[in-house]
A and B are shown apart, each in its own frame.
Chain A
Amino acid sequence: MSSKKIAILYGSETGNAQDFATILSHKLQRLHFAHTISPIAEYHTADILKCKYLFILCSTTGQGELPRNALGDKSSLWQFLKKKHLPSDFLSHCQVALFGLGDSSYPKFNYAVRKLHQRMVVQLGAREIFDRLEADEQSMAGSNKGTGAGVESVYFEYEKRILDFLKEKFPRRKLKNGDVVDRDEIDPEIYIEPSSYLTLADGGDETEVEISFKGDTSMESGKIIKNKRITDEEHFQDVRQFVFSNDNGIEDRYSPGDTAAIYSCNTDVAVQQFLEVQSHWLEVADKPLRFTNGVPNHLKDGGIVQPLTIRNLLKYHCDIMSIPRTSFFMKTWAFATDVTRMERGQEQLDDQREKLKEFAYDQDMQELYDYCNRPRRSILEVMDDFLSVRLPWKYMLDYLPLIKPRYYSISSGPNDPNIELTIAIVKYRTILRKIRKGVCTDYIAHLKEGDHLRYKIQHNNLVRDNYHGRPMILVSPGVGIAPLMSIVKAKLSEDINFFFGCRFKDKDYLYQNLLEEWEKEKRIKLHPVFSRDRENSPDTKYVQDVLWKLGPEMTNLIVKENAIMCLCGASGKMPVQVRLTFIEMLKKWGDFSSDDEARKYLKQMEREDRYLQETW
C-alpha cells in the first residue's frame, strides 16, 4: 500500500524519531490513507513533485546536525533541496507539517528541523499546515516548554492535528469497485498485513548450508587479526584494540576521520531462547522460506541472509535484544491470544492483553518507560514475561526491528593494509538481574582471531587537502583518541600538540607506549591528563584544564600560525566545556576584547574547517 501523495519522512539517530514516524504511519494505515514512509535520505527524490502532503519528523544530533539517515548522498532529497538554482516556489505544491525532536541541554536546540523549515518553507515555498512543533527531552524549551510533559505529548499533538486535517479533508474514500464510503478506522485488534511477508519455500531443512548474504554488493567481509584488551583488567571499562583485514585481499582506502560500520548478529543462545518462547516456531525454524512479494525495502542494506530461515533471520537481522518501542507493541499486542500458557487462565490472559495494549496506545507512555526503557529490557525478555503472546512468524520482519550497523572511527593510518578500531565494550547494570550489554560491542567482544565479520567503510571527508604542513592541536578524552591516532599516523603535520584525557595513568591510558614513543621521536608534543589520578595529574583534571594551562602557546598557534583544532570524543558536556575554554583563551591571549568577537572568530574557524568536532 504505497502512495506518493502522502509521505512521512524521518531523520533519526537513535530511533526515537523513527518510532514516532512509525506510529503516525500506523495511524494513517488504520484510516486507509495510503502513503510512503522512509528515512529522509532514502526517499526517491523525484517523488517530491508528486507529494502533496508531507510530514517530516526529524531529530537534531551532534552539533546541530541532521541525522545520518537524513543527510544521504549527493542525489538524496536534502542534498537536492539545498541546490542554489531551485526557484522559490519549488515546493509550492506541497503542504507540510514539521516535528522536531531535540534536547535543550545541548546548545543547538532543534537546529535540524529549523534548517528544514527555513529551506523548505521559507525559501522554497512549501505551505505549513500548522506551525511546526519542537519537542524537548528536558521539557524546558520548545513546544513542551514548562509543561513538564515529555516529547511524546508533543508528538501526540502533532499526530492529532495531522489526523484531524486529513479526516476533514478526506472524510470518505473510494473502494476498488467504485463505491464511496465513510472513512472508518480499522479496528486496532486487526493486524494490517504487510505487502510482502514470509512463506515456506520448497526444499528440506537448511542446517548445513553455509551462511551468505545476498543483495548488497557494497558489503565487505573481514578477518579478525587482533582483538586485545588495552585497559587494565581491574579497570571498569574494557577497551579493545580491534584489527581486521579485508577477506578479498583488497586494501581498503581510507583517510583519517573515516569510520567502519560493523554489522553484528545475535548469539545462538539468544536465538534459541526466542525460539523456545515462541515454541510454535521451532518446528519450522530451519525450513527454507521465501517472500510472497519480493524483498522488503528496509532489508536492502547489508543484504539478506541465505539460506532464508527463521533461525537465520533471528540471528542476523532481527534485533530481539533491543528495547521494544511503542510501534512494536502497536503491531503485536493483539497476538496475545494463548490462554494455554496462562497459569491463571483467562483472567491472566486478559490482564496481559490489556497491559500490552496500554503499552501500545497510552499517550502518557510512563508505564512503557518504567517497564522497558528505564531497566533497558529487551524484546526477548518481554516475550518471556508475556507468554500469552503467540507471534506469527510470517510477519516477523514487519514487527521486529532490524539490527542496525554501528559506526566506529578508524584508528589505523591510511597506509595500513589493515583496519584498526578502538572500541569500548558496553556493559552496565540496571535493576534487571541480567547485565546489560551493547548488541554490537558484545558481538565484537567475543570475536576471536580468524573469525569473520561484515563491514563497510564510510568516507566522512574530515581531513581537507590544505591541512598538510599546518600545526595541529588534537584533543581527545577516552576512545575519542581513535581518529586522532589516524591523523598522526597519516603524517599530515610536523607540529602536533596532542591532548589526551582518561581516568588513571596505569589503568586506561590508551596506546601509552605508542604515544610516548612518538613523543620521543618528536612527532608530537604529548599532554596527557588523568581525571581521577591525583598522583599523576595533581593540578589538572580534564583536557580543557591542560589547554588552559598552555593557553598562551596554543592561542598563538591558532591566531598567528593558522593551526587546526580537532576535538573528538563523547558528545554532551565535554565539547561544550572545551569550546567555552577555547573562547576564554581567545579572549585572554588572542586579543579579542569581547565574548562576541571571540565567538565570531570561532565561527569563522568552523567555516574554514579549522575547528573540527567529531563527537558521538
Chain B
Amino acid sequence: MSTPKIGLLLIHPAVTTTPELVEDVKNNAPKRNIKIVNQFLINKVNDGSIKLKVNEYNVIHYLTPEEPEKILFPKKLIPVLKNALKDNGLLYGLSDKYKIDALVNGFEIKTTEGDDFYHWVKKPDTDAKKTVAVPLKSSGDAEKKTTTAKLPSFKKASDSKALPTFKKALPTFNKKKVAETKVHVAEDDLDDLDDEEEEDSVFSDSSKARFLDDLDDEDSIEEDDLIEGRDDNGNITMIVCGKSNTKKKKACKDCSCGIKEEEEQEIDNIRSQQDNVVKFTEDELTEIDFTIDGKKIGGCGSCSLGDAFRCTGCPYLGLPAFKPGEAINLNSISDDL
C-alpha cells in the first residue's frame, strides 16, 4: 500500500444544511487513498484564527452547499490554499468562476472526466514565462496520455536588441543615417485588473446608477459648507524629505521685501554683459571665432553650447546657442533689440 495522500477538508459554515457532502467525501477517502488529517471551517481560515501549514496537503476539498457558478469565495485565500498544498496537489470545490485567479496563482484547471471531478492542480514553481511544461499523470489510470512538450520560448521581436548579423559594414560616406527611436504600440490588454477581494455582496452598480438620472436642478450643497468646521491640522501626509533643498527664493507677485529689485538688478547685469557680445557681432564678420578671442570668454569652451550647458558667469548667458566661428543668429530676436 503506497503512502496515503494527506487531505484537508475546508467547510463552508452553511454546509450543515447539506451534511451529506461532508459524509460522502469522508467515506470515499480511503478508496482514494486519502487520509483526512484536518477539517476546518473556512471562515476561521479567512479571519486568520486558523493558519494552514505550508506544503502540507496533497488534497484539499472545499465543501459548500452553493452552486458552482454561485460560489462566493475570498480570493485572497486562493494563494493561501496553494501554499498549503504540496506540488501537484489537488484542490476540489471551486469553479470556473475563479478561473483567472486559478491561473494567476499557478493552478492548472482539470475539467470533469469520468469519476474524476473538476479540480485544480498546483503547478510546481518553475519559470512559467518561457516554457509550458505539461505534467504527466502518474496515477496511471485510463487517462489520456499527455506528452510533456517543452514549447520553444519566443521573445517579441521588438524586445530584441541584437541586430541581424548578416549585414555588411555600412559604407562610410553615408553620413545621413540617424538613429531611430523605438515606438511602443499599446496592446489592448489592460482593462481587466483583477478584482480585489469582495467577499461581501457585490455592490450593485444599478442601484447607484439611478442617482444619475435626476440631473435636473436638484438642491446642491454649498461649497463653503464643506470647509466649515473642518479640522485640517491632522490627516495630511507629511513628506519626509531627507535633503535640505535650499532653493533660491523667487519674488512674489506683489513683492515688498526687495527680492524683486534684486532680480531686476541681476537681469540688468546680464543684459549689459550681453551687449558686449551682441555689439561685437554686429561690427565684426563671421570669420572671427569668438571662442578663441581673449575678451572675457570663459576657458570652459561651453559658450557656444546654449544656456543649458553654460556657466553662471558666461557672457553669452541668455543668448541662443551658436556655432563657434559664426555670428550669433539674431534673426529670431532682431525685432526686439
- List the interface of chain A (C-beta within 8 A of B): 1, 3-6, 29, 32-34, 45-46, 49-50, 52, 64-66, 74-75, 79-80, 82-87, 90, 92-93, 105, 108, 111, 114-115, 118-119, 130-134, 142-145, 147-150, 153-154, 157, 161, 169-170, 172-176, 180-182, 186-187, 189-193, 195, 273, 334-335, 337-340, 343, 348, 351, 355, 364, 366, 369, 371, 374-375, 377, 381, 384-387, 390, 392, 429-435, 570, 572-574, 606-607
Contact = CB atoms under 8 A, between A and B. Distances in A.
Interface string B218-262: 111101101100101001111101011111001011101000000
A193 B186 contact: yes
B166 interface: no
**Can you list the 3 inter-chain pairs with the closest CB atoms, starting with the nearest?**
A385-B306, A34-B190, A573-B254
Given A118-B227, A144-B241, A371-B308, 14 more contacts: A6-B193, A82-B221, A83-B219, A153-B239, A169-B196, A181-B129, A189-B181, A191-B181, A334-B181, A337-B179, A343-B324, A431-B318, A433-B274, A434-B333
Interface string B1-40: 0000000000000000000000000000000000000000
A186 B184 contact: yes
- Secondary structure of the B side of the interface? loop
A374 B250 contact: yes
A52 B219 CA distance: 27
Contact of A1 (B186, B196, B230, B306): B186
Nearest to A366: B247
Interface string B169-211: 0000001101111111111111111101000000101001101
Interface of B: 100, 103-104, 129, 175-176, 178-194, 196, 203, 205, 208-209, 211-212, 214-215, 217-221, 223-224, 226-227, 230, 232, 235-239, 241, 243-247, 250, 252-254, 256, 266-267, 270-271, 274, 278, 304-309, 317-321, 323-324, 332-333, 336-337
A175 B203 contact: no
A149 B178 contact: no
B278 A84 contact: no
Contacts of B278: 433
12 contacts: A5-B193, A29-B186, A83-B214, A83-B221, A131-B236, A148-B244, A190-B183, A191-B184, A195-B186, A334-B181, A390-B178, A607-B224
Contacts of B189: 32, 173-176
Contacts of B176: 340
A431 B239 contact: no
A366 to B, nearest CB: 7
A5 to B, nearest CB: 5
B306 A149 contact: no
Given A34-B190, A132-B236, A84 B218 contact: yes
Nearest to B268: A429
A518 to B, nearest CB: 30
B182 to A, nearest CB: 5
A372 to B, nearest CB: 9
A358 B38 CA distance: 59
A170 B193 contact: yes
Nearest to B198: A93
A32 to B, nearest CB: 6
Contacts of A147: 239, 241, 244-245
B156 to A, nearest CB: 10
Nearest to B321: A385
Contacts of B212: 45-46, 49, 80
A157 B253 contact: no
A92 B201 CA distance: 13
Contact of B236 (A4, A79, A134, A190): A134
A337 B179 CA distance: 6
A373 to B, nearest CB: 9
B253 A572 contact: yes
A482 to B, nearest CB: 19
